[in-house]
Structure 1
């Protein structure tokens, strides 16, 4: 079987403007294979089917990877705007806390005590959200089921190759 590097026949993989890398594909008709089809044994046909299936699975995985990579890049580009908005919000929060301290001072507290209370409240909230974030990050685990199934698949495929004809 001849290796086709792209369904578009393009080494760069960008002729259609998708920006996706070339993926292996199975030719729909192979003239040499059709001419020699009558000469193949069952074992050779099974070998060809296995090779085509393997190429098909690899092509599907490569396609999924390239699509997911493209979507992640779009998401990252879009998240830049959220990051900018968050930075502006954080800088704006300074004025909120300043106004809160001035409000406490107007209520009758000494100005330095009002600012101290606002500062202590900010530290308390920062500590609380830091703790919650730590708990969430600590809860991240490896994809155990995926790892187990991949090990099982590898074991089955390696045992399949040990049989002799």
Structure 2
């Protein structure tokens, strides 16, 4: 039996620097993970915002209904107050005419706003055509200038 002297433990090989391909792969993985994390965060924030907005919209709707009932009671009180000096039918007629006058003014103003908005319709195709023509002219001018040199 031959006895061999114990061999010293092998030294680990020095770490080799990563290749460009490995570095690019790591960067790609990190960027991909970062983008995925940002998208997940945006989704979570969007869900929370939608839930909060849903509750807010419901409360605003309820406030509108209650305000409409309040307006009805206020108009009823106006009719009763006018009925002290006029017959009840005349008081209701006066209140109705005032309401129709307010509705006509609001409708007129609303129609003017809609007509103004229609006159300001964007025309992206026209602007894009102008931009393309401008780029073509600039490119051809650049090519001509480069040919001269």
1:60, distance to aligned residue in structure 2 (A): 0.9
Task: Show the counterpart of 1:82.
Answer: 60
Q: Which has the higher contact order (CA 8 A, sep 6+)?
A: 1
Task: Show the counterpart of 1:120.
Answer: 97
Cα deviation per residue 1:29-65 (whole Å; 9 max; x = unaligned)? xxxxxxxx84742133123202321320231122022
Number of equivalent positions: 103
| 1:42 pairs with one of 17, 20, 42 | 20
Provide the secondary structure at the position in 1 that maps to 2:86. coil
Alignment root-mean-square deviation, CA = 3.6
Task: Show the counterpart of 1:63.
Answer: 41
Which 5+ residue runs of structure 2 have no aligned equivalent? 1-14, 125-149
Cα deviation per residue 1:7-44 (whole Å; 9 max; x = unaligned)? xxxxxxxxxxxxxxxxxxxxxxxxxxxxxx84742133
1:68, distance to aligned residue in structure 2 (A): 2.5
More helix as a share of residues? 2
TM-score (ref. length: structure 2): 0.51
Cα deviation per residue 1:97-137 (whole Å; 9 max; x = unaligned)? 0111222232x33432321221232234345179559948x
Which 5+ residue runs of structure 1 have no aligned equivalent? 1-36, 145-165
Provide the secondary structure at the position in 2 that maps to 1:80. helix
1:66, distance to aligned residue in structure 2 (A): 1.2
Task: Show the counterpart of 2:135.
Answer: none
Provide the secondary structure at the position in 2 that maps to 1:109. coil
Task: Show the counterpart of 1:152.
Answer: none
Task: Show the counterpart of 1:96.
Answer: 74
1:93, distance to aligned residue in structure 2 (A): 1.7
